[in-house]
Amino acid sequence: MDKPYSKLGFATRAIHAGNIPDQLHGGVSPAIDLSTTFAQPVPGVKGSAFEYTRCGNPTVLALQRNLAQLEGGKYAFALSSGMAATITMLSTLN
């Protein structure tokens, strides 16, 4: 997805890499999604990749894709606070 940006400068990659143009209107900047919950066809059954904003939303996904590309990685993980990051990292240790 980000191959066209791999040889471009940092500023260009910071603006464009990881962003997918809006399918409906063609906007090139990611929209800020303010939803806290997402529609489900039946309670407990996801209707899309998202169900509750704390578990992820389109805005956070765009940020994660952009950070991963800027750092030269495949993935990035954005958390809501430094304490959440600390607990997540400590939880991965034996």
Domain ranges of the chain: 3-92
What tokens were used for 55? 């578990």
Q: Assess whether pLDDT exceeds 60 at residue 1.
A: no
For residue 82, what pLDDT is reported?
Answer: 92
For residue 2, what pLDDT is reported?
Answer: 59
**Phi and psi torsions of 29, nearest 5°:** -100, 135
Following DSSP, what letter does each residue of 60-72 receive, concatenated? Answer: HHHHHHHHHHHHT
Say how far residue 35 (Cα) sits from the centre of its chain.
15
Could you report the per-residue pLDDT of 64-88, keeping only the tens digit for each? 988 988 888 888 989 889 999 999 9
Report helix, strand or coil for 91. helix
Please classify residue 29 by burial: count the beta carbons closer than 10 Å to its beta carbon, then call 0-12 exposed, 13-18 middle and 19+ buried. exposed
For residue 62, what pLDDT is reported?
Answer: 87
Stronger pLDDT, 56 or 93, i.e. the higher one: 93
Q: Assess whether pLDDT exceeds 90 at residue 6.
A: no
Could you report the per-residue pLDDT of 18-67, keeping only the tens digit for each? 777 778 778 877 788 888 888 888 887 877 888 888 778 888 888 898 89
